[in-house]
Structure formats: structure tokens, C-alpha cells
Amino acid sequence: MHKKLFIPGPTEVRDEILQAMATPMIGHRSSAYADLHKSVEEKLKKMLNTEGRVMLFTSSSTGVMEGAVRNCVGKKVLHTLNGEFSRRWCEISKANGLPLDTIEVAPGKAITPDIVDAKLAEGGFDTLCLTYNETSTGILSPVPEVAKMVRAKYPEIIILVDAVSCMAGVPIHNDEWGLDVILAGVQKCFALPPGFAVATVSARAMERAKTVPHRGYYFDFIENEKYAVKYNTPATPGISFLYALDKQLDDMFAEGLDNRYARHLAMAEHCRAWAKQHFALYGDEAYASPTVTHITNTTGFDFGAMNKELGKRGAQVSDGYGPFKGKTFRIGHMGDLTLADVTWLTAQIDDILGM
């Protein structure tokens, strides 16, 4: 039996989207491909509120995280750590030998403008990495406020944002916020299968890239831009993903972006209320994520046994990530799931646990 995915990615994919992926193949240097690429890029620009470039990459998000730091870090990058995925980005910079420093807050806390300001004030940085939605802890940091502070006080800093688990689930105003790169894979709030990622790349980021001698090959922004002007990619793209993304973006606009974001919030509010009734929310509720709810297992129930029984009923939720395994659990409410879906889910868990 298929288990409906209430995990923080990959998320449940509708049949219509799977069918769009089965569209007959075209050559990636054909005009039909360029039309498709242009259509997807224009729709993403509308969703992300940008007049700049949106690049398309056939890889998971991690690839673009690596590409972003390789293209943009010249002097030194500041990594802001509040969980496992922000830590991963820092590991990527380390693996590439990039000069870096970190600030860290306890898991469950957000990255706020004051702590970023205090560190940037030490000087020497030219790039900042922010994780908008820390999927391991269920925390949405106030990226618009951090970016506003950075743009006002440190105009030379390139701002890179991992929005992997919230893009298409929360509003993003790329140009107004002054972001340079905001990236995401399509397997979370976009509700496509995994394997494809998108990223805005500002003119400022492109200028920085021109000063960086070794940007790598596959994710080289300058090389990608040479092709992007013709609505192409340097290497053969995952064309099936573009068909699915084009259809999904149409469906998102048909739903209405504001309605989509409100739906994510409504699912989050339901899960939070349920969690507080039976368990406890993990972390700072003021920054609780609209796309993943992170719950402390205060009653010590057997998570594995519960999830197994849930599986028999056709659903799946997630254990705590990394150090939280066995201590917390997470409900992903992303993409095309509805309030009715999460209401059904929590009723099943109530029934299984006899609550």
C-alpha cells in the first residue's frame, strides 16, 4: 500500500504531476525546449517576486548549495548554524576549502538580525549563508529582517539563502528583501519528485562570481548564464522535471499563491495545536515553521511502532533528525497536502496511541 507522505520531504506527488513527467521527450537544444524553459523561469520569477535570473539545475538542493558558495565566496563566508542543514552548508564550504566563520544558536532557536549584525561587525566577510527553514528543528528564521539589516549596514555582503523546505510554501520577495541567491529543490513545497532545483541569482552575485577564479564546473553561474540567456542549460537538463514544474506552477497560480501559503499555515496551526494538546512543541514557537512541525515526544511512546501502524493505514511521519532521533518526531505539511489530510493524520495517531 502506498503511504501518504507527511514527512518533511520528499512530499506527496499528485498523479497529474507524475503524468506531466511522462510527457514525450524533446531535444534540449530545440525551440520547444527553450519555450518550456522560458515558461518555467517566467513563472518562478513571478512566484519569487524577482526581475532577475532564476537558474534551473538538475540536481538535488545540496548541489546548488555547493555551487552558491563556490561562486560567491571571495574573502570569507559567515555560516549561521541552528540545526543540521545549516551545519551541512558549513561542511560544504569546509570541503571546498573556503575561508569561513560561524555563529551558532541552540537548536530550536532562530537566526535573528542582532546576532548576525554582531558577527558581521567584526569585518572581513563578503558572504552570508542563511537557512530560511531549518527542517531538522522546524524553525523558520526571520530572513526578511536579517536581509534588511544586512542590506542597510553591509551592502557588499552577498546573501545566500537555503529555502529548500519552505519555497512555494511561504511568500518570498527576492528583490524587495535584497537577496542574492535563494535556492530550493522541488521535492518539498513544490511537491514534485526529487532531483531538480531552482535558484535566483542576482546581478550582484554574478559580479562577485566574475572575481572568483575557481567556481567549479557544473554549477558555474557564469557558464550557466551564457546558456540561460537562450533559455538553455550547459548540460542536458532533466526535461521531465520542467514539464512537471510548468504544470505545477500553473496549478499554484490557479490556487492562488496567497491561498497556498495560507493553506500551509492552516496545516501548521492544526499540527501545533494538536502537538501542544498531547505533547510539546520543540523550539521557539514564535518561529515555528509553517511547513514542518517538530514535536517533543514527552510521553515516550514507541515512535517506530506507531509509524509502522500508521503505515498500515496508509501514511508516514518522520522521526527526529540526527541528534533528535527517538526524542522528537516531525510532521511535514507541505506541497499539495490539505487541512483535511493533516486532520485525518492526527486522528489516526490519536487512535493508534489511544489518546
Residues lying near ligand PLP in the complex (CB under 6 A) are found at 9, 60-62, 85, 131, 133, 135, 162, 164-165, 185
Nearest-CA neighbor of 248 among 29, 47, 24, 54? 47
Residue 170 gets which letter from DSSP? B
Q: In what order do the strands lie in the sheet with 328-332?
A: 280-281, 292-296, 328-332, 318-319
- Measured from the CB atom, the residue of 33 and 321 that comes closer to ligand PLP is 321
- Tell how strand 181-185 and strand 197-201 pair up: antiparallel
Residue 47's SS3 state is helix
* In the complex, minimum distance from the CB of residue 165 to ligand PLP, in angstroms, rounded to a whole number: 4
Nearest-CA neighbor of 63 among 27, 98, 88? 88
- Measured from the CB atom, the residue of 231 and 330 that comes closer to ligand PLP is 330
* In the complex, minimum distance from the CB of residue 85 to ligand PLP, in angstroms, rounded to a whole number: 4
Q: Are 264 and 290 in contact (CB under 8 A)?
A: yes
Question: Residue type for 259, please?
Answer: N
- Measured from the CB atom, the residue of 232 and 316 that comes closer to ligand PLP is 316
* In the complex, minimum distance from the CB of residue 340 to ligand PLP, in angstroms, rounded to a whole number: 25
Residue 75 gets which letter from DSSP? S
- Measured from the CB atom, the residue of 33 and 57 that comes closer to ligand PLP is 57
- Measured from the CB atom, the residue of 132 and 303 that comes closer to ligand PLP is 132
* In the complex, minimum distance from the CB of residue 152 to ligand PLP, in angstroms, rounded to a whole number: 26
* In the complex, minimum distance from the CB of residue 196 to ligand PLP, in angstroms, rounded to a whole number: 9
Residue given cell 521531465 in the structure block: 240
Question: CA 157 to CA 149: how far, in whole Å?
Answer: 11
- Measured from the CB atom, the residue of 164 and 317 that comes closer to ligand PLP is 164
In angstroms, the Cα distances linking 314 to 1, 5, 108, 113, 307 are 7, 9, 30, 42, 10
Q: Are 137 and 284 in contact (CB under 8 A)?
A: no
- 62 alpha carbon, distance to own chain's centre: 10
- Measured from the CB atom, the residue of 135 and 233 that comes closer to ligand PLP is 135
